[in-house]
Amino acid sequence: MITVILNGYKRGDHLNEQLEALRNQTLPPDEILVWYNNPGDNDLINYDIGTEVPVAYCNYNFGVWARFYFAMNAKNPYVCVFDDDTIPGKKWLENCMNTMNEKEGLLGTVGLLYLNPLPPEHSSYYEHYLRFGWPE
């Protein structure tokens, strides 16, 4: 039901810790994929994750949004994309699914509840919101 996309970029040293945290979820993901953006000198082979889950290496830095495009390869209706320095707690995916069952939304490690829809021409995405969850 859940696909997790891990993102590697200059901080691949967290990937093994992320994988272990995903294995220990109370609601484990059905699929884990890794998007490795412009690895350069940082090689996933050093972290052995490439032998356990599918890894897409990109030799160019397409920026932060490329991992979301890569998520189109997910086989499941729910997709969770983690930054390369985010380690989920044991109930992270379970809590996300419980929240989605109550009210669907786009969930993140920092909660933002937007108070007013912003027009497309608006230059800032982080205005008119309430912040909750992870500390500032």
Burial string for 114-136 (b: 16+ CB within 10 Å, else e) reads eeeeeeeeeeeeeeeeeeeeeee
pLDDT tens, residue by residue, 53-103: 888 888 888 888 888 999 999 999 999 999 887 888 899 999 999 989 998
Residue 133, pLDDT score: 58
- Paired strand residues for 131: 112
pLDDT tens, residue by residue, 14-32: 788 899 999 999 999 999 9
